[in-house]
Structure 1
Amino acid sequence: MIEAERRLLANALLDFSNQRFVLLSESCIPLFNFSTIYTYLMNSKETFVEANMIKNSQWKKGSQWFQIDRYLALNIISDKTYFPRFIENCNNGCYSDEHYLPTFISIEFGKRNSNRTLTWVDWSKGGPHPSKFIGKDVTIEFLEKLRFGSTCEYNGIRTTTCHLFARKFTLDALDRLVKYAPKLMQFN
């Protein structure tokens, strides 16, 4: 997975107009319209890679869904110190897509990182996978909770706009998402 992510970043970096990079899954949805998401990312002073400490003081684990800037993307694809160690040693219970970036970024670029993700995920039911959402789960109230139901810091200021994306939405949620998007997200 990490090799694939590095190749994606390397290709995206070929276009010099690309300044921010967002990795999402196929089950993610935007919680805001494009201009709101673009402005949030472009004006951010930090990157968004979740990193939680586990066992070893430098070993980190977090979501593989990240939002980074060009500077960090260049450092990820040119990393010749940590990446080879992960390739060599990450096996049996080690998931490189959940360990490599959080560890690398925490050690080398911790001050540039917010230590949070912009992708809302529901882990409340426990288990190895987050909750899935189907059509009947999608309501205006639920989407508003995802959009403004958390508190975080953005550029040093407390805000309730903490998540720009949410996952895991199934295909049958699409009809309701399309129905509510114009009202909530000002889509046309």
Structure 2
Amino acid sequence: MVYNYLMNSVHSFVDSFDENTPQGRGRYSRHMFPDIRLYQWRKGSQWFEASRKLAVGLVAETKFYVIFKKYCLPSCYPDEHYIPTYVNMFYGEVNANRSVTWVDWSRGGPHPATYGGSDITTGFIRAIRDNGTFCMYNSNPTTVCFLFARKFAPSALQPLLNLTSTVLEF
């Protein structure tokens, strides 16, 4: 299912959004101007999926990566800023502008919630799967928006494995 979802998609899945916060625009360096302008600056999830075309473009690109390497310091991160900015500037039309990884930021702070073994129940997994989210997939609305989830502590592994045949259906 995951393979088919990703391979049949006409888009890559890279969060790329303008965030007017210290973690978003606040990490922009004016030294990147004029090659990268503040209105082009983006932030996104460090978890992304790139098509082969986009991946080759990212790996082959050198001009903007050098600018980021020189001026994206100290709290600017390539996976959270370079990739979303570059995708926004040059690959926006092939980007779904969303992640396929579910994350719980509801507890606030700089890191998402971490779930341990005691959190892993049939109800918890079903709540993640059937959370009422709608998104677009190949220009059609769908409820299958997330293929992965994070953040799980090592103690969650065995309880997750115990649910594979019932909830995860494999």
TM range (shorter): 0.7 to 0.9
Shift of 1:93: 2.4
How far did 1:101 drift? 0.3
- Paired position in structure 2 for 1:64: 46
Between the two proteins, what is the percent identity of the paired residues? 43
Alignment: residue pair count: 152
The Cα of 1:148 is off from its aligned counterpart by 2.7
CA distance in 2, matches of 1:63, 1:124: 15
What amino acid does structure 2 have at the position aligned with 1:123? Answer: W
Q: Distance in 2 between matches of 1:109 and 1:95?
A: 19
Calculate the TM-score normalised by the size of structure 2.
0.86
Q: Are 2:50 and 1:50 aligned?
A: no
Matched, 1:180 2:145: no
2:129 to 140, 147, 153: 147
Cα distance in 2 for partners of 1:110, 1:145 equals 31
User: How far, CA to CA, are the matches of 1:148 and 1:44 in structure 2?
Assistant: 21
**Deviations 1:129-181 (CA, angstroms, capped at 9, x unpaired):** 11000011111121112223121111111111100000010111112111111
Give how far 1:120 is off. 0.7
Deviations 1:74-125 (A, max 9, x none): 1001102211110011003212221000000011000100000011111111
SS at match of 1:93: coil
Q: What is the distance in 2 between the residues matched to 1:43 and 1:96?
A: 27
1:111 lines up with 2:76 in the alignment: no
CA contact (8 A) 1:148 1:162 kept: no
Aligned partner of 1:92 in structure 2 is 74
Partner SS, residue 163 of structure 2: helix
Higher radius of gyration, 1 or 2: 2
Other-structure match for 1:156: 139
Is residue 51–residue 62 contact of structure 1 (8 Å, CA) maintained in 2?
Answer: yes
Alignment partner of 1:83 is 2:65? yes
Runs of 5+ in structure 1 lacking a partner?
A: 1-35
Alignment root-mean-square deviation, CA: 1.1
1:171 matched to 2:154? The reply is: yes
The two structures have a TM-score, normalised by structure 1, of 0.78
| Structure 2 unaligned spans of 5+ | 20-24, 26-37
Q: Which has the higher strand share?
A: 1
Partner of 1:101: 83
**Counterparts of 1:80 and 1:64 in 2: how far apart (Å)?**
20
Query: After the TM superposition, which parts of structure 1 deviate over 2 Å for at least 4 consecutive aligned residues?
Result: none
